[in-house]
């Protein structure tokens, strides 16, 4: 074999080392895109995060199941919609899926702590993570989250994004979605949540399993009061 032929063969292998991961990346993104397109008018049955939590519950109890009941957007109290926006993403109706100012603040906080402690995530970003990704925190996962976020914002109306979010977000141990949360904590439906109940549920979202076990937390009570005062200025999509 000539030296020229040997070099040519080596370069072919080097090319494929880069091409194969790129092709895999494109295939994965295409899968996400097609799944989101399907969910424009079909409801997700189980999200990645739900499956992860159900598996964790079944390690202790093989028969354990998560609690979740889908309800359409118009059967979720406006109190809860306003409370979640006031608590989680005040600019939800205006931004394109990412609040870059919040991301900058989160980056500065993470830099000071020398680890990822804050994500600055919008409602759309949280939905992207819940639908497809794990609960781990790292910048590679954050990058994938951003790609999925823009897919969601491109293919779906804000109201549809919010409807799915409210039906799949975790509200407590094994409790997902507004309807299951309303029944679990208050014995009522998502449509009948009053302002105080809705504010309290919204405050639980960043750490729902902890607050499920610590419902008398002083922080929970104080923060609920803050969200109650902010709810009136929350813009619904």
Q: Give CA 150 to chain center in angstroms.
A: 13
pLDDT at 2 over 60: no
What does the pLDDT read at residue 14? 67
Give the domain extent around 146. Answer: 50-233
What does the pLDDT read at residue 114? 56
147 and 188 share one domain: yes
Q: Record the tokens describing residue 55, joined without a space.
A: 């598996």
Q: Name the domain count of the chain.
A: 2
Question: Tell me: the pLDDT tens digits for 123-150?
Answer: 999 999 999 987 667 777 888 999 999 9
224 and 115 share one domain: yes
Ramachandran area for residue 110 (φ above 0: left; ψ -120 to 50: alpha; else beta): alpha
Number of H helices and E strands in the chain, helices first, is 11, 2
Q: What is the mean pLDDT of the chain?
A: 89
74 and 29 share one domain: no
Report if pTM > 0.85.
Answer: yes
């Amino acid at each position: 074999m000539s030296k020229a032929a040997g070099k040519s063969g080596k370069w072919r292998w080097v090319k494929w080392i880069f091409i194969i991961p790129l092709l895999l990346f494109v295939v994965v993104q295409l899968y996400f895109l097609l799944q989101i397109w399907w969910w424009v008018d079909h409801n997700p049955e189980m999200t990645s995060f739900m499956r992860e939590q159900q598996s964790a519950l079944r390690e202790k109890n093989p028969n354990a199941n998560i609690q979740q009941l889908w309800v359409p957007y118009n059967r979720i109290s406006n109190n809860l919609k306003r409370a979640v926006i006031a608590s989680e993403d005040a600019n939800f109706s205006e931004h394109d899926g990412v609040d870059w100012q919040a991301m900058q603040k989160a980056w500065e906080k993470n830099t000071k702590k020398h680890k990822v402690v804050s994500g600055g995530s919008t409602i759309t970003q949280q939905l992207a993570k819940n639908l497809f990704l794990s609960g781990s925190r790292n910048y590679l996962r954050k990058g994938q989250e951003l790609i999925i976020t823009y897919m969601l914002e491109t293919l779906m109306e804000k109201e549809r994004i919010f409807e799915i979010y409210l039906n799949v977000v975790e509200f407590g141990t094994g409790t997902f979605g507004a309807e299951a949360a309303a029944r679990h904590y208050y014995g009522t439906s998502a449509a009948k949540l009053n302002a105080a109940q809705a504010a309290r549920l919204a405050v639980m979202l960043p750490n729902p399993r902890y607050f499920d076990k610590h419902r008398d937390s002083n922080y929970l009570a104080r923060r609920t009061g803050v969200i109650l005062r902010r709810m009136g200025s929350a813009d619904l999509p």
